[in-house]
Structure 1
Amino acid sequence: MKIQYFSDTDTLAIELTNKPVVSTDPITDDLIVDYDDEGKVVAITIDNCSKNVDSLNLQPLNLPVLSL
């Protein structure tokens, strides 16, 4: 999983897997979900992040770290 913030566009990109995106669903003007060929979510994009995410309360919560 990779989480990136792009300050020039105020975009938060959450990549859940490295599988190719085959379809994209704009949920709202600021929320986009990408899917793989099996219909599983592979990425989430939040535009206008500073208006949509309370970054002061952003906390990682017991995320499992997988070893390769």
Structure 2
Amino acid sequence: MKFNYYPETDSLYISLSEKPSTDSQEVSPSIVLDFDSEGNLVGIDIDHASKVVDLTRLEAEALPINSIALAK
């Protein structure tokens, strides 16, 4: 999972997969979900991100990350 913030457009993109997006669906005025060709969610686009989410802090809790993955 990758988080990309674009200050010039104040948008936050959360990549959930390396697969390309082939379809998108706006689920609210500032949130667009991207899907691959099989209908799987691959990304979340948040417009006006600084007004929608707290960009000053990123936390992760109880993720099943092992020490080998962190070493890469």
Q: Write the mapping of 1:36-55 to structure 2, written as runs, cut at 5 A.
A: 36-55=36-55
Aligned residue runs from structure 1 range 25-36, under 5 A: 25-36=25-36
- Could you state the TM-score of these two structures normalised by the residue count of structure 2? 0.78
Residue 22 of structure 1 deviates from its aligned partner by 1.3
Residue identity (%):
35
Write the distance in 2 (CA, Å) between the matches of 1:14 and 1:56: 16
TM-score scaled by structure 1? 0.82
Deviations 1:9-54 (A, max 9, x none): 1100001111121110011121000001111100001000111002
Question: Secondary structure of the equivalent of 2:28?
Answer: coil
**Does the residue aligned with 1:42 lie in a helix, a strand or coil?**
strand
RMSD value over aligned CA atoms? Answer: 2.1
Letter in 2 for 1:38: E
Tell me the CA shift for residue 2 of structure 1: 1.4
What is the alpha-carbon distance in structure 1 between the residues aligned to residue 56 and residue 8 of structure 2?
20
Structure 2 counterparts to residues 1-68 of structure 1, below 5 A: 1-56=1-56, 58-63=58-63, 64=65, 67=69
Give the gaps of 5 or more residues in structure 1.
none
Unaligned runs of 5+ in 2: none
